[in-house]
Amino acid sequence: MSETLTLGKALNLGLRRAMEDDSKVILMGEDIGKLGGVFRITDGLQKDFGDERVIDTPLAESGIVGTAVGLALRGYRPVIEIQFDGFVYPAYDQIVCQVAKMHYRSRGKVKLPIVIRIPFGGGIGAVEHHSESPEAYFAHTAGLKVVACSNPSDAYWMIQQAIASDDPIVFFEPKRRYWEKGEVDTSGSLESAFPLHSSKVLTSGTDATVLAYGPMVRVALDAATAAAEDGRKLEVIDLRTLSPLDMGAVFDSVRKTGRAIVVHEAPHNLGMGAELAARITEECFYSLEAPVLRVAGYDIPYPAARAEEEYLPDLDRVLDAVDRSFGW
Amino acid sequence: MNESFELLRRMLLIRRFEERCAELYSSQEIRGFLHLYVGEEAVAVGVMAEFGPEDAIVSTYREHGHALARGVSPDAIMAEMFGKATGCSGGRGGSMHLFDASTRFYGGNAIVAGGLPLAVGLALADRMQGRPVVTACFFGDGAVAEGEFHESMNLAALWRLPVLFCCENNLYAMGTRIERTHAVTELAVRAAGYGMPAEVVDGMDVLAVREVTRKALKRIRSEAGPQFLELQTYRFRAHSMYDPDRYRDKAEIAEWKRRDPIDKLAATLRLPTEDISKLDTEITEVIDAAVAFARTASPENVDSLTRHVYSEVRR
């Protein structure tokens, strides 16, 4: 059954289905109950599943994540909503010191199937702490898995796959894409869905590879359309999984195109682009016609709303990078 | 009398076990950090005596005493101290991360106050599943200054969860005395801010600790909702094996040593000296066996250190 859904609604339906499938799935977060969350991702779930399974919490991110650890130790599959990207930092200690390490520290005896949902990125006219892209902090931490969805169909399936995973997963949601619509085929099973930790080739091309995830996938696709008018065929890959990275399709693509451009909103310095550039260089060195280029946010704190358009990578900056790659 | 003798046995086991650990540390058979509980045994033993096998325990980095009092196998603890694969955490946790789900001992924790929200989660899970059990959450006076303490106290009180918060107040957050770290040094007063009953108890008197725990558990089980205990105690040794202990007055240490919880109980029980020596001999045998167990076990193969970063059954 296929229906047209916004990304936000697709997440809502995915959460609902996960809760129907497994009574041990519970949601926790700030204002997620009656209000349905700031972005209404949990809209209606408390009404239908009760306030013991959709738990409104105080403003205590560290306490919430630590509570989730205790719940997971007792067999639950907690799904935490962090209200905005910048609000995750108080919980960083629990995520890095407990969530990421307890499975390893117990040599596999303890499993922590926790999902930490984080709306991330800018583009909604907010300010710092409400527009950040902290994914690299988490991808750097062994023991955590990190994914980012970019469209309604992936949102619907990936959230369910993340909840079904026995590993802790930091789940990034592109907040400015919450209202964008797409076709979602809700039939079929989780097992037959496209695997969670796999990158996906979205447009086939021979001239340059563009790697993106989350909110920047739409920008990369628009760039591919625009480049096609100039006769350049871009291969856009939605990475989807940031830890572990799925490099197979990326290497195949770069060996074919000889050029790679990574696009993300997070700052350049030590962002995901750095790791991707290193890996591509290590594996595809003799295929490269130009260095791997990065189109990223600037190395500044996320700016005020009026400067947001300058900060965020857009169509022009991606096309400019493509030009620079060809000019090498 | 028999029950009290058992309390003595447990305290002496912890004391002798840790004294042996200190020796093994000096001979480098135990490596890493080592934080000893010597002097504070009455707290772990007194509290744990009232906890049943279904109840849960959350501990700190100074947790050898908690684990032993809980009944985690001395062999498995010693092997963990040695970093051997037969240790209770498979050799990966070490002194600060003893863990044993079978006795519901949910871990030592190297992050001060890091365990408090875990206790909230365990208690929430128990309540949602209708299990009439209580979670004991140990932490020190230093943890009371951390944000996680306040978040956890609020969550537990708000949701009326069955948690016994056991604050081991040994007057020093590592090298800094309580007056230099807390605006309000009467720590039990903090609990009032969360609408939580609190009591102060002499943590050097195991019978008093046991009695106050019994009453607290009765209240938690019947009325629901957490309770706070401030257990006033003292560590006889330095913070860790590296600590030169320059911040404490020798007279103060000597004064507290006169209140040794083991001596105190032995005096109360009026035990003949030969009974205590017999007990000591038995305990020495237990510890000898644990050391032999730890020595003969193998450490985890270095090649397998990349295992269990993630679960191995892919879903």
What are the tens digits of pLDDT across the range A271-293? 999 999 999 999 999 999 999 99
Buried b / exposed e along B143-174 (16+ C-beta atoms within 10 A): bbebebbbbbbbbbbbbebbbbbbbbbbbbbe
CATH of the domain at B206: 3.40.50.970
Contact residues on chain B for A109, CB-CB shorter than 8 A: 90, 99, 101
CA A7 to chain centre: 13
B309 domain-assigned: no
Is pTM beyond 0.80 here?
Answer: yes
Average pLDDT on B143-163 reads 97
Residues B70 and B76 sit within 8 Å (Cβ to Cβ): no
A106 touches chain B (CB under 8 A): yes
Say what the pLDDT of residue B315 is. Answer: 44
Average pLDDT, chain B: 95
The reply to whether CATH 3.40.50.970 applies to domain A2-192 is yes
Nearest 5°: the CA angle B121, B124, B125 is 85
Classify residue B276 as exposed, middle or buried by CB count within 10 Å of its CB (0-12, 13-18, 19+): middle
Average pLDDT, chain A: 97
Say what the pLDDT of residue B1 is. Answer: 60
Cα(A63)–Cα(B161) distance, integer angstroms: 14
B111 touches chain A (CB under 8 A): yes
Mutation target among B59, B99, B151 for the A interface, most CBs of A within 10 A: B151
Mutation target among A23, A27, A106, A112 for the B interface, most CBs of B within 10 A: A106
Q: Which of residues 126-145 of B touch A (CB under 8 A)?
A: 126, 128-129
Cα(B172)–Cα(B65) distance, integer angstroms: 18
Determine the topology of domain A200-326 in CATH.
Answer: Rossmann fold (3.40.50)
Coil, strand, or helix at residue B232?
A: strand
B313 domain-assigned: no
B315 domain-assigned: no
Nearest 5°: the CA angle B103, B107, B110 is 165
Contact residues on chain A for B117, CB-CB shorter than 8 A: 62-67, 69-70, 94
Please report, as a single letter, which amino acid is at residue A54: V
B151 domain-assigned: yes
Q: What's the alpha-carbon Rg for chain B, to the nearest Å?
A: 19
Average pLDDT on B250-267 reads 96
Say what the pLDDT of residue B242 is. Answer: 87
Average pLDDT on B130-158 reads 97
B309 touches chain A (CB under 8 A): yes
What are the tens digits of pLDDT across the range A193-251? 999 999 999 999 999 999 999 999 999 999 999 999 999 999 999 999 999 999 999 99
What are the tens digits of pLDDT across the range A113-132? 999 999 999 999 998 899 99
Contact residues on chain A for B155, CB-CB shorter than 8 A: 57-58, 60, 63, 67
B172 domain-assigned: yes
CA B216 to chain centre: 18
Q: Residue B279 is part of which domain span?
A: 2-304
In chain B, how many domains are there?
A: 1
Residue of B nearest to A93 (CA): B114
Cα(B109)–Cα(B93) distance, integer angstroms: 9
Which residues of A are marked as active site? 130
Per-position DSSP letters for A138-152, written without gaps between them: HHTSTT-EEEE--SH
Q: List the single residue in B122, B158, B310 with the smallest CB-CB distance to A167.
A: B310
Partner-chain contact B125 A97, CB within 8 Å: no
User: Nearest CA to A239 among A273, A193, A289?
Assistant: A273
Residues A271 and A136 sit within 8 Å (Cβ to Cβ): yes
Residues B77 and B286 sit within 8 Å (Cβ to Cβ): no
Contact residues on chain B for A98, CB-CB shorter than 8 A: 109, 111, 114, 118
Partner-chain contact A62 B111, CB within 8 Å: no
Residues of chain A with CATH 3.40.50.920: 200-326
Q: List the single residue in B99, B121, B151 with the smallest CB-CB distance to A62.
A: B151
Average pLDDT on B102-115 reads 95
Parallel, antiparallel or unpaired: strands A181-185 and A2-6: antiparallel
Partner-chain contact A70 B123, CB within 8 Å: yes
Say what the pLDDT of residue B224 is. Answer: 77
Mutation target among B310, B312, B313, B314 for the A interface, most CBs of A within 10 A: B310
Average pLDDT on B275-282 reads 94
Contact residues on chain B for A90, CB-CB shorter than 8 A: 147
B99 touches chain A (CB under 8 A): yes
B314 domain-assigned: no
Chain A / chain B CB contacts < 8 angstroms: 137
Q: List the single residue in B99, B117, B313 with the smallest CB-CB distance to A70.
A: B117
What are the tens digits of pLDDT across the range B76-101? 999 999 999 999 999 999 999 999 99
Mutation target among A64, A107, A112 for the B interface, most CBs of B within 10 A: A107
B21 domain-assigned: yes
> Has residue B312 got a pLDDT over 90?
no
pLDDT band at residue A184 under the 50/70/90 scheme = very high
Residue of B nearest to A112 (CA): B311
Cα(B212)–Cα(B164) distance, integer angstroms: 11
B103 touches chain A (CB under 8 A): no
What are the tens digits of pLDDT across the range A41-50? 999 999 999 9
